[in-house]
Amino acid sequence: MLRFPLSAALLCLVAISSPAVSQDLSDEELLQMFLNQRDAFRAARESGTGRTRGLTLVTVDNVEVTTDSPSLTSPDTTGGSVAITGSRDDGVSGGIAPLVPAAPEQDQAAVAPDPAEPQPVVFGQLAPELQVNVNIKFGFDSAALTDDQKPLLEQLCAVMRGSDIALFRIVGHTDAAGTDAYNERLSQLRADEVRRYLVTDCGIASSRLEAVGLGERFLADENDPRAPENRRVEFQALS
């Protein structure tokens, strides 16, 4: 498992482009990509190293996760396990417990993370050939999903409804313009808005979707931090 150093904030727009854009794929191709992602996440968790071909699990600190799904278990290279608990829709944050060996039972209360504070989260850093990104344009300083952008999500709705994938993660990314704290929050709000649309308008069970905003931490175009390719919403099939 790699540890990704972070600040406590991030970036600006959530939108996207690069590498695999859903509207460029058939339903069958998109479904196969999601199945390949799920296989990669499973292999990385079972490897004990947090990595497999095309995927590296990276620990990211101070991140909120909007979800009401059951906990997942991810690999702990120290010999224990950690659980993705996420946060409830009422804003109480959860996340992934720090990657440290389990303490003796009597010490658990002393080392338990504060549920009111964002916790580390394990993010799947996928190779370009496994990424599913969608180019959604938001207005300046806005997290509202406009009507003209909703058709971009329709194919994902159909593929999700027809699949047996248990949990998808919606990841908001931004470019490197603006202040870290403000734009990290904006990326979270935009990922949350996409999740809300998939639940309320597309009929996807909320337990199958979680949303996280990572701001500028994982740029699609590192050579041009402000490039529009960095403003994206990424979809990952976790299990």
**Grouped pLDDT means (10 residues each) for the chain, 239 residues:** 39 38 80 95 93 91 74 33 27 29 40 58 88 79 83 92 95 84 85 94 95 84 82 89
Residue 163 confidence (pLDDT):
96
Q: Is 163 exposed, middle or buried (0-12, 13-18, 19+ CB in 10 A)?
A: middle
Residue 99 confidence (pLDDT):
27
| Threshold 0.75, pTM exceeds | no
Point out which residues pair with 83 in neighbouring strands. 73
Residue 205 confidence (pLDDT):
95
DSSP letter assigned to residue 150: T
In terms of CATH, what superfamily is 2-237?
OmpA-like domain (3.30.1330.60)
Q: Would you kindly state where each structural domain of the chain is located, as residue ranges?
A: 2-237
Residue 44 confidence (pLDDT):
93
Pairing relationship of beta strands 65-66 and 209-215 according to DSSP bridges: antiparallel
Residue 66 amino acid letter: T
Sheet strands (E) in the chain: 2-3, 51-52, 55-63, 65-66, 72-75, 81-84, 119-126, 132-134, 168-173, 209-215, 232-237
Residue 52 confidence (pLDDT):
93
